[in-house]
């Protein structure tokens, strides 16, 4: 589903937010192969639309996502099938960070294993107070090695490793304290807060945001000197964008910018 941002003032909030809903609560929104294929398809669905500004990933039911469907990982399936599941999951998680628009996880419930990985892979995560986050694979003999990639890049190492070694969950406020989520709000405020963040994003130029997001993920894995070399060049490139000059001119002229996106 889509919801249009700023219908009352489209000049300020042009564009729309695409909401992807994990909708298999009977299976605890497990990231089965069909679910991952659907998620990849939905993430790419509107990506070329000039009006797309934000993508929100939400879920039906009390569990945001329980991670992989363990029935797909039994010995009844061969190694090729197992590889397909994990490779597609990795593709979806990296795709989120390659998209030209911010992706927000709207979490209202339990997120475990690859479900926790999905939250950690999003650019922003807003969680209700009842949400919890865990990587309990170690308890069933399947260490959460792929979730650890996203977890280890979102949390301090010792916090991530405690989660991975024990399988014990973080509360929403612990997840906020350690940086796994951006905000924690009461359940009845979750939709409002997610929309508020989305609308704020829509006040900026899409082309500037796309450049900034791509650069952030490019530089974050580099050493300090390399990171500054990359970002120094990008700042110069940013100034060559039409919206880069429009923003500066609007600031000098004390008016609101009119973005071309």
Which DSSP string do the residues of the chain spell out, in sequence order? -EEES-TT-TTTS-SEEEEEEE--GGGTT---HHHHHHHHHHHHHTTT-TTEEEEEEEESSSEEE--S-GGGGSTTS-HHHHHHHHHHHHHHHHHHHHSSS-EEEEE-SEEETHHHHHHHHSSEEEEETT-EEE-GGGGGT---HHHHHHHHTTS-HHHHHHHHHH-PPEEHHHHHHHTS-SEEE-GGGHHHHHHHHHHHHTTS-HHHHHHHHHHHHHHTTS-HHHHHHHHHHHHHHHHHSHHHHHHHHHHHTTS------
**CATH code for position 166:** 3.90.226.10
Q: Over 60: is that where the pLDDT of 6 sits?
A: no
Identify the pLDDT of residue 8: 36
In a domain, 165, yes or no: yes
Q: Is the per-residue pLDDT at 7 higher than 70?
A: no
Residue 249's CATH number: 1.10.12.10
168-205 pLDDT, tens digit each: 999 999 999 999 999 999 999 999 999 999 999 999 99
pLDDT digits (tens, 9 = 90+) for 118-143: 999 999 999 999 999 999 999 999 99
pLDDT at 77: 67
Closest by alpha carbon to 32, among 150, 114, 117?
114
Residue 106 lies in a domain: yes
Residues 139 and 214 grouped into a single domain? no
Q: Write the pLDDT tens digit of every residue in 207-228.
A: 999 999 999 999 999 999 999 9
pLDDT at 236 over 80: yes
Band the pLDDT of 161: cuts 50, 70, 90. Answer: very high
Mean pLDDT of the chain: 93
Q: Are residues 76 and 137 in the same domain?
A: yes
- pLDDT above 70 coverage of the chain, percent: 94
What is the model's pLDDT at position 5?
47
Instruction: Please tell me whether residues 149 and 130 are part of one structural domain.
Output: yes
The residue segments making up the domain with residue 225 are 206-253
């Amino acid at each position: 589903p889509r919801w249009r941002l700023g219908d009352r003032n489209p000049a300020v909030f042009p564009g729309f937010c695409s909401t992807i809903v994990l909708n298999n609560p009977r299976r605890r929104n497990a990231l089965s192969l069909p679910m991952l294929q659907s998620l990849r398809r939905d993430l790419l669905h509107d990506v070329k639309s000039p009006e797309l500004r934000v993508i929100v990933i939400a879920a039906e039911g009390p569990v945001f996502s329980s991670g992989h469907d363990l029935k797909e990982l039994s010995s009844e399936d061969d190694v090729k099938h197992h590889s397909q599941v994990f490779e597609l999951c990795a593709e979806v998680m990296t795709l989120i960070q390659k998209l030209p628009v911010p992706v927000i996880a709207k979490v209202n419930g339990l997120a475990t294993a690859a479900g926790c990985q999905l939250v950690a892979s999003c650019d922003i995560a807003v969680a209700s107070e009842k949400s919890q986050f865990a990587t309990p694979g170690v308890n069933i003999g399947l260490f959460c090695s792929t979730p650890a990639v996203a977890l280890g890049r979102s949390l301090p190492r010792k916090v991530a490793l405690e989660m991975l070694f024990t399988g014990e969950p973080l509360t929403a406020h612990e997840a906020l304290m350690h940086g796994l989520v951006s905000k924690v709000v009461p359940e009845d405020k979750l939709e409002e807060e997610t929309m508020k963040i989305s609308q704020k994003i829509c006040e900026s130029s899409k082309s500037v945001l796309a450049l900034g997001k791509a650069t952030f993920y490019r530089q974050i894995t580099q050493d300090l000197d390399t990171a500054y070399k990359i970002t120094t060049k990008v700042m110069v490139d940013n100034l060559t964008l039409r919206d880069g000059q429009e923003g500066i001119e609007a600031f000098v002229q004390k008016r609101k910018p009119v973005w071309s996106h």
